[in-house]
Amino acid sequence: MALDDKQQYQAREFKVVGTRVKRPDGIDKVTGKARFGADMSAPGMLVGRVLRSPHAHARIVSIDTSAAEALAGVHAVVTRADFDEITGDDATADILDNCMAGDKALYDGHAVAAVAASSAAIAKQALKLIKVDYEVLPHVTDVDAAMETDAPALHKGRANESVPAGMSANVLSRYEFGHGDIEAGLAKADRVLERTFRTEATHQGYIEPHACLASMGADGQADLWCCTQGHYMVRNVCAAIMGMEQGQLRVTASEIGGGFGGKTTVFLEPVALALSRKTSRPVKMVMSRSEVLRATGPTASSSVDVRIGMTKDGRITAGFAELRYQGGAYPGSPVEFGAMSAFAPYDLENVKTIGWDVVTNRPKQAAYRAPGAPMAAYAVESAVDELAKGFGLDPLAVRLKNAAREGTRASYGPTFPAIGLEATLRAAKDHPHWTAPLGKNQGRGVACGFWFNFGGDTCVSLNITPDGTVTVSEGNPDIGGSRASMSMMAAEELGIPYEQVRTIVADTGSLGQNEVTDGSRVTFAVGLATIEAARAAKREMCKRAAMTWGIDEDAVKWEDGAAHPAGENAGKHPPMTLKEIAAIASNTGGPIAGHHEANPEGAGVSFATHMVDTEVDPDTGAVKILRYTVFQDAGKAVHPDYVEGQFQGGAVQGIGWALNEEYIYGDDGVLQNAGFLDYRIPVASDLPMIDTVILEIPNPGHPYGVRGVGETSIVPPLAAVANSVSEAAGVRLTQLPMSPPRVLRALQAK
Amino acid sequence: MVKVRIWGSLAAMTDDQTEVEVEAATLRELLDGLAGNFPGLRPQLDRGVSVAIDGRIYNDSWFTPIRPDSEVVLLARLKGG
Amino acid sequence: MSKIHVTTSVNGDPTEFLCEADETLLDALRDRLGMTGAKEGCGTGDCGACSITVDGRLVCSCLMLGAEAEGHEIGTIEGMADGDQLHPLQRKFIEHAALQCGICTPGLLVAAKSLLERNPDPSEEEARYWLAGNLCRCTGYDKIIRAVMDAAQEMREAS
Amino acid sequence: MQYLAPTTVEEAVSALAGHSGDCRVLAGGTDLLVRMRSDMADPDAVIDLKRIDALCQITPEKGGWRIGAAVSGAEMGEHEALVADWPGVVEATNLIGSTQVQGRCTMAGNLCNASPAADSVPAMVAAGAVARIAGPNGSRDVPVEEIPTGPGKTSLKKGELIEAILLPERPERSADAYLRFIPRTEMDIAVVGCAVSLTLDAEGTCTAARVSLGAVAPTVLLVPEAANALIGTKIDDPALEALAAACSAAAKPIDDKRGTVDFRVHVAGVLARRAAVIARKRAGGAA
């Protein structure tokens, strides 16, 4: 159902929300007790391992598993033949094909078979005994090359109705957004800048590799333990692939060691279930880092043309961008979100974006924090910066002059309600960072970023124990401290101390459907459901107090953790605290609980502005990050520490994307840097402190004004760092990563 | 009648109109109306869309009320990370 | 294949285990001894999630064979707190919200403890370089470094 | 796989010489275990050197130092007298991997891994270090630059292992320095490495020098032209320019995932200049 009036934002004084309480999972995580995906075992457990294609593109002519099956200690081998084909659901069919290749291996690392054995050593030996006859096919890994009409085609007939005839078979979708008249707008500009920007694929880079433990019995019932951003999604997808009823598969989410979007789908889980089905034994599967990099994630790589017109006083007269994203071997690169978000920070009369979804011989891309937006923002924010600086204008002033605000028709269509972009820009302009002096070979860059939020199916059950503590069950894996924030919102609503509430992540047998932990939705949507569940429990507790006092339940109100007579006419009764009401629950009708199940839609959007200083070594092209400040609207920061943590983490992932992270493919289409040695995520010594400024422009669609904060923070840094490096280097850089060889080449070409 | 803005690449399915009118008082009626009036939109509607109603984004909620003067914009189905 | 018998001490407890010759100490700790506090993030010494100490020296347990532990004293995250008394670093990590997902946390704590044993008053730069082998993807390291510096100060004041 | 842990060099050599299969020496293990993990090595046996006491020692020898093959980078960094004599060799060894890797990795292992990008090797080559090899036919001393013969390949014969690295005695006013270029600040393999070892006279004129480059050829290069650019000068700007030019000219790198030919050629010169300035200062010359 849609939001009702009670769910609208109402200003209030907070007691718990906004404080910096200690997280409930803290002690387990600092003592090594917390159990992550690979930390679970089961009696009689087998070890599962996957055989992966060494080729970027190959027809699988045959697979001979007989020698592996004959090896002592091997209990089962599965290939695609062990799965029923899925018809009528392309998305699920693609997921299955990605988990276990069908007639073709579509990328280096594509799973082609799997074994279950009594030990890891035997499983490893068994993989070597599986004989796969490959017919190697021509491959393509670059997005622009894949769009050439004579490029090797991965699929036939997958393009949808939006793609004009005559294009490469690898082009699967076309999107166009915008309004106004681009050419007329450009004609009014004093300068029109046209540039092409490129970004490489990056991986979400969570430190915990994918892991699961599956156990299926002869009766068809199954249990699955796994690290995921959404165990309800895992249940539904696996049930569809395995031909099971959803209710027969119970999935428990382990602690999750990072996801950032990369754990919003399945890779190992159906394979582990298939091996368990075949052996009637529990099967544990854990990926190596190399498997994670070769066969999960990453994000799309991009090639983006922009044309932006600006008057010499800094007014943007028109903005155009054409975005080409390759999303790996299956449809679904996030190009539409790039096209929708590219110009979202601007109030433009004339704006148009075109997006192309392209497939290549790379792993199927998975969502990565604000999927599709960072690359688009990189292109647009770089071009706006170059235009502003070209006219000698202050880049923050130019952004303020063109900033989207309440009432602006967004580049992707709707009219913005109250938004926080201007507030972030003004905060940036007023911050001492903006006016701090810079030295030689140093530069300062700013950029803005935008991301959506959304709601989705959500269930929360809140139970009052006999001694008056409160347990909250939610169905979304806690990826950044959400158990703390749910406990805080429950405590706030009930008027009790935070310490009196404990939140757990419940398995799929305990609650109804829950959308994945994604789209920055948890604090918004699960928070909203938690508040509603607490309100339901309060109503019940008021009723119990009314019964006890012998008055009408309308004559009882809830305040400061206790039921009170609502007014003089209700009689003089001392307040009954939550604990007192809980203690007599059995006498007043039984256990007390509140629950809320909804699809709370109507989430607000979020904006950020980032500012970064860099220094470029003119002799080597090395870039050092000197100072970094994030300005972002959080609506209401429920737990400011974890809001800051999201800002900082997103910024640093963006810094990695900007400077050193990239997928490097050889001419053979094989990934060359499938490890943390050469896939270079930022280390502690690469970075300064990441300063944060939290702005709170309440989201009108949430009772506490909460907006999701998890994703927006990765949108501006690519451009902010590029603008800073371009200023420090004295030359515009148009390709990521800005690795030292690339920066040095630009410096030498100046 | 509700005015619905659709994105540019869908206009090929609506006689090049980027704004179409549908008789609808709820999201469900809106989606049904679009599919009925413009069968060419059906593949995209089947793949999924989000709908911004007065600036707020809805994915699924059929009975979200829509007023005749509501601003209604069709969006690509949102996903997150 | 005959297994190797290893006699060692883990967090002060006399410990014996059998392992394969090519089995890493990380696998032996996790799979033979049930000590899953040390994590495998890469298996190649690039992420530090498996950090432990051997005779007080910080190492990656994924880069050691179980057999190499013979006769040595192993220290893991499970031995860092003294009963219910958290080590100051553990307390400061919680207070400063220096963890989000928590997968890198055991390794970072073991590494940071090793730093403060050798250098009770590290500069921020020294702390950042010492911990450069411990990857964290969630936090951007800011709150981790603050927690380490704060714990160092508290430990100096207490000593 | 067999795990062997001899307690004397003789036992180790006899096990190594007598084994019929793929038998590897395990010093720190920080390369070998990575290779095993990545399926690049699948040995039938490993011989752990760390239970041989003599190989775990840093010992004065002939005015210089003998560093046992099982001595870790961290132990070298904690040895003040060694650091005072050979700061460049120690800083190069201390750049291998993380703090954790420093707890295990060894110079001898870094040499025998035979990567052209090994950090300690250019520093050892510039230092004129010698590898003491134990084998079935006894012991022999060989300049370290003769050990690696190409990526992953060494000149060691069947049954031979390196028991120690010998660093020579230092004349007065001598010092060395090592710099490498990596994309991040830590945890990467050198894209280019350069070591400079030199001796100054009382007036600050360079009387002896050795310059070496890593990651610009299949093996670490000793560059006599670069040394000649320094010898007889006060290591002033023209000398540094000549040094840089000689290093860039000597570099014969490849394009790979870590860097390009152009980048490596250019940065070889940049690092040489910077390393020479550090070594000059350490030797008591102009800062």
Whether D and B touch (3+ CB pairs < 8 Å), yes or no: no
| pLDDT of the residue at B78 | 86
Residue of C90, C103, C138 with shortest CB distance to A649: C138
| pLDDT of the residue at A1 | 29
Report residue A275 as tokens.
């091996």
Beta bridge partners of A626: none
The pLDDT of residue A343 is above 90? yes
Cβ within 8 Å of residue A85, ≥6 positions away:
A93
The pLDDT of residue A342 is above 90? yes
The residue among A161, A450, A458 with the most chain B CBs within 10 A of its CB, best to mutate, is A161
Cβ within 8 Å of residue D90, ≥6 positions away:
D76, D77, D79, D82, D83
Helix, strand, coil abundance in chain B, percent, nearest 5: 30, 30, 40
Indicate the length of chain D as a whole number.
Answer: 287
Helix, strand, coil abundance in chain A, percent, nearest 5: 30, 25, 45
User: What are the Cα distances from residue C12, in Å, to C73, D220, D234?
Assistant: 7, 44, 57
Cβ within 8 Å of residue A314, ≥6 positions away:
A388, A391, A393, A397, A398, A401, A402
Report residue D223 as tokens.
């560059």
Q: In this predicted model, what pLDDT tens digit does every residue of A434-493 receive, in sequence order?
A: 999 999 999 999 999 999 888 899 999 999 999 999 999 999 999 989 999 999 999 999
Half-sphere exposure of residue A66: CA atoms within 13 angstroms, side-chain side: 2
Q: In this predicted model, what pLDDT tens digit does every residue of A344-367 receive, in sequence order?
A: 999 999 999 999 999 999 999 999
The answer to whether C51 contacts chain D (CB < 8 Å) is yes
The answer to whether D104 contacts chain C (CB < 8 Å) is yes
How many contacts (CB atoms, under 8 Å) link A and C?
182
| pLDDT of the residue at A480 | 85
The whole-number average pLDDT for the span D140-153 is 97
Per-position b or e across A463-492, b if 16+ CB within 10 A of its CB:
bbeeebbbbbbbbbbbbbbbbbbbbbbbbb
Q: In this predicted model, what pLDDT tens digit does every residue of D123-139 receive, in sequence order?
A: 999 999 999 999 999 99
| pLDDT of the residue at A520 | 83
Per-position b or e across D135-151, b if 16+ CB within 10 A of its CB:
beeeeeeeebbebbeee
The answer to whether C38 contacts chain D (CB < 8 Å) is no
Cβ of C65 within 8 Å of Cβ of D104? The answer is: no
User: What are the Cα distances from residue A289, in Å, to A105, A123, A297, C44, C46?
Assistant: 20, 18, 12, 9, 10
Q: In this predicted model, what pLDDT tens digit does every residue of A91-142 receive, in sequence order?
A: 999 999 999 999 999 999 999 999 999 999 999 999 999 999 999 999 999 9
User: CA torsion angle for A252, A258, A260, A263 (degrees, to 10)?
Assistant: -40
The pLDDT of residue D271 is above 70? yes
Closest CA to A462 of A523, A525, A530, A517: A530
The pLDDT of residue A302 is above 70? yes
Is residue A81 within 8 A of residue A278, CB to CB? The reply is no
The pLDDT of residue A77 is above 80? yes
Q: In this predicted model, what pLDDT tens digit does every residue of A538-567 receive, in sequence order?
A: 999 999 999 999 999 999 999 999 999 998
Residues of D in contact with C21 (CB under 8 A): 1-3, 46
- Give, for A556, the enclosing helix (H) or strand (E): strand A556-559
| pLDDT of the residue at B81 | 79
Q: In this predicted model, what pLDDT tens digit does every residue of A689-698 receive, in sequence order?
A: 999 999 998 8
The pLDDT of residue A3 is above 90? no
The whole-number average pLDDT for the span A177-200 is 98
Cβ of A121 within 8 Å of Cβ of C20? The answer is: yes
Residues of C in contact with A39 (CB under 8 A): 30, 36
pLDDT category of residue A600 using cuts at 50, 70 and 90: confident
Cβ of D98 within 8 Å of Cβ of C22? The answer is: no
Per-position b or e across A708-740, b if 16+ CB within 10 A of its CB:
bbbbbbbbbbbbbbbbbbbbbbebbbbebbbbb
The residue among A452, A517, A523 with the most chain B CBs within 10 A of its CB, best to mutate, is A452
Which chain A residue shows the shortest CA-CA distance from B46? A89
The answer to whether A38 contacts chain C (CB < 8 Å) is yes
The whole-number average pLDDT for the span A7-32 is 93
The whole-number average pLDDT for the span D22-32 is 97
| pLDDT of the residue at B80 | 79
| pLDDT of the residue at A569 | 83
Return the residue matching tokens 């320095």.
Answer: D177
Residues of A in contact with B10 (CB under 8 A): 162
Cβ of A603 within 8 Å of Cβ of B61? The answer is: no
Which chain D residue shows the shortest CA-CA distance from A681? D184
Residue of B9, B50, B60 with shortest CB distance to A176: B9
Measure D30 CA to nearest chain A CA, in Å.
Answer: 13
Residue of A36, A120, A676 with shortest CB distance to C39: A36
The answer to whether D181 contacts chain A (CB < 8 Å) is yes
Per-residue pLDDT of chain C (159 residues; tens, 9 = 90+): 589 999 999 999 999 999 999 999 999 999 999 999 999 999 999 999 999 999 999 999 999 999 999 999 999 999 999 999 999 999 999 999 999 999 999 999 999 999 999 999 999 999 999 999 999 999 999 999 999 999 999 999 998
Indicate the length of chain C as a whole number.
Answer: 159
The answer to whether A36 contacts chain B (CB < 8 Å) is no
How many helices (H) and strands (E) chain D has is answered by 11, 14
The whole-number average pLDDT for the span D142-166 is 97
The whole-number average pLDDT for the span D129-155 is 97
How many contacts (CB atoms, under 8 Å) link A and B?
119
User: What are the Cα distances from residue A364, in Å, to A52, A603, A656, D46?
Assistant: 14, 28, 21, 40
Distance CA A470, CA A580 (A): 13
Which chain D residue shows the shortest CA-CA distance from C115? D99
Cβ of A369 within 8 Å of Cβ of B59? The answer is: no
DSSP characters for A203-258? Answer: ----SS--EEEEEE-TTS-EEEEE--S-HHHHHHHHHHHHT--GGGEEEEE-B---
Measure A125 CA to nearest chain D CA, in Å.
Answer: 11
The pLDDT of residue A382 is above 80? yes
Return the residue matching tokens 């158990």.
Answer: A483
Distance CA A75, CA A272 (A): 13
User: Chain C, 94-123: which have a CB under 8 Å from a chain A CB?
Assistant: 94-97, 99-106, 109
Closest CA to A605 of A341, A428, A396: A341
Cβ of A340 within 8 Å of Cβ of B74? The answer is: no
The answer to whether A621 contacts chain D (CB < 8 Å) is yes
The residue among A1, A172, A181, A336 with the most chain B CBs within 10 A of its CB, best to mutate, is A336
| pLDDT of the residue at C1 | 55
| % residues pLDDT > 90 (chain D) | 99
The answer to whether D255 contacts chain A (CB < 8 Å) is no
Distance CA A68, CA A274 (A): 17
The pLDDT of residue A5 is above 60? no
